[in-house]
Structure 1
């Protein structure tokens, strides 16, 4: 699985675009430009536009844990309980295998997560179109309007057929849940791996997001009032972006 497929596969599983790397500092309200390869370059924030009503950012959910994978493509299985005295001392050292049948296999887990979003996206869209009329908002800009961020994130993607990775962690075998594979504080580490295409294990970050961007096919000179009825939603798309990794390397969508 390449980066393009990862971003879109996350959308199929979760309803959000997948951010890579998950540790890139995305937050609701960021504004950036995107080039022909959809690489995101941060410019400013929505709050920096005096013409916009300051957007209200709400927390839809807090402190939750989730894992995502397609059971037809991906198998998560506890392999062994290493510590012989686990029942005496509590948490044992587990080995957990994640195997992918084909190149579409993906595993995403996060813990201590927060789901944030702009409360009135429709108003924001209308205001953006009004700014675009006056050449204040550029057509290649996008705004981040929704995110899921987490203290602990593990993201894995297959690099080919029969890909597999085995992870170590300290957890109770009887109570094990797949989202625990995101927990760096449980000592999650790689024991072995084969044909893994993308991996990020136990880091904090923002693995999932949604955006608003003006459709390239939408008429540039369009009259949209800030209030009242109008086809503002038709003018926008939820655009997948690629976020720079480090100061130099970038991926492509």
Structure 2
């Protein structure tokens, strides 16, 4: 079976290209969280407020439910509660559920419901605040989470071999008319499995997020113009030059860059040592 992260990353890139993904899938990311990306690993490094950086968030924006099925390779059969159904071996007659069968190996099924996107509302102020910290102790390994997509529930399954099967027990009362793929994330649980690879079902997750950092050439410019930073004294024994703050306020993209998803390590978030 191919690497689970690569399979999942490739699957969600159809809609979420450019976004980082929470990995492992159970990992939660918060708006305003600080991450350290160093030595091929990403570690939690506190939150912006711990570093004296305040920010405001914009109201959450709802998104449509997200579903992905590798080239239609996953077939789904639903089973009504109180009805016996041929081919179901793990679900009881009383259960309401579904059977997912994968025709191909390395196929992926991704379903998220109740998606809401939140983000930093004033990027100009954030850019200026990071410049102030960059003048002192914020370096090029630190990332700030500026956008987060949360999900009320989700289901992610991959096939280790062709013919993989999962039987899911679905929440009673989810509505048994006109069922579709999105219903597989209705607080489901796996009742039976065969030849599955990755298997994750969860609630209140944060599957996608964006991060920014101070541009690497910004640090080079500051060093060239003002000298190397000195611990406890900033880049030089003088206050932050107003021109740097004005530059950040006028055009945040001059000092900030969104970090490409290609830079996200496959190992995902690791705990600090």
The TM tier, using the shorter chain, reads 0.7 to 0.9
Contact 2:140–2:214 (8 Å) recurs in 1: yes
Q: Quote the Cα distance in structure 1 between the aligned partners of 2:192 and 2:148.
A: 31
Q: Which structure has greater helix proportion?
A: 2
Q: CA deviation at 1:128?
A: 2.5
The structure with more radius of gyration = 2
Change in Cα spacing, 1:202 to 1:7, as seen in structure 2 (3 Å) is: closer
Q: CA deviation at 1:65?
A: 6.0
Structure-1 residue corresponding to 2:133: 131
Q: Confirm whether residue 18 of structure 1 aligns to residue 21 of structure 2.
A: yes
Which residues in structure 2 correspond to 1:133-212 (within 5 Å)?
134-169=135-170, 170=172, 171-184=174-187, 187-196=188-197, 198-212=198-212
* SS of structure 2 residue aligned to 1:110: strand
Q: Confirm whether residue 119 of structure 1 aligns to residue 128 of structure 2.
A: no
Q: Quote the Cα distance in structure 2 between the aligned partners of 1:161 and 1:96.
A: 15
1:56-82 deviation per Cα after TM superposition (whole angstroms, max 9, x unaligned): 1123324x6613214515424125446
CA RMSD, 1 decimal: 3.4
Structure-2 residue corresponding to 1:84: 83
User: What is the number of equivalent residue pairs in this alignment?
Assistant: 233
Can you give the 5+ residue segments of structure 1 that lack an aligned partner in the other structure?
86-90, 249-253
1:157-177 deviation per Cα after TM superposition (whole angstroms, max 9, x unaligned): 343555443323245443213
Contact 2:113–2:154 (8 Å) recurs in 1: yes
Change in Cα spacing, 1:79 to 1:152, as seen in structure 2 (3 Å) is: closer
Structure-2 residue corresponding to 1:55: 55
Q: Quote the Cα distance in structure 2 between the aligned partners of 1:243 and 1:92.
A: 36
* SS of structure 1 residue aligned to 2:100: strand
Change in Cα spacing, 1:34 to 1:3, as seen in structure 2 (3 Å) is: farther
TM-score (structure 2 length as normaliser): 0.69
Which one of the candidate residues 229, 234, 238 is aligned to 2:260? Answer: 238
Structure-1 residue corresponding to 2:98: 95
1:201-246 deviation per Cα after TM superposition (whole angstroms, max 9, x unaligned): 1343212211113455x3532354222247527744234351238x
Q: CA deviation at 1:178?
A: 1.8
* SS of structure 1 residue aligned to 2:248: coil
TM-score (structure 1 length as normaliser): 0.74
Q: Quote the Cα distance in structure 1 between the aligned partners of 2:4 and 2:124.
A: 30
Can you give the 5+ residue segments of structure 2 that lack an aligned partner in the other structure?
85-93, 223-243
Change in Cα spacing, 1:231 to 1:58, as seen in structure 2 (3 Å) is: closer
* SS of structure 1 residue aligned to 2:71: coil
